[in-house]
Structure 1
């Protein structure tokens, strides 16, 4: 079984990183953030929300 080591990160180390990805540091742990949803995804979520709102009001 492979063991993973945890590396403590802080803002100074984050600034030195050459990676242009979106990350968040929580209690010294580095998390890769998901990309923003596409316009199509947001449109579909809006449609589902609208249908649920009409259904629950009826």
Structure 2
């Protein structure tokens, strides 16, 4: 998780997928990534699972 905090995957054009049962903090983590990327001037876009199929 500490490597993901650096947001290196955005600069490399890579994606991350958070998988887990309800109530495990996936949305909280996504919001943290979003805030970090926007404060760094990087783009951010969320998709829900239905868009991936």
TM-score in terms of structure 1 length: 0.31
Instruction: Decide which structure has greater helix share.
Output: 2
- Structure (1 or 2) with the larger CA radius of gyration: 1
Instruction: Decide which structure has greater strand share.
Output: 1
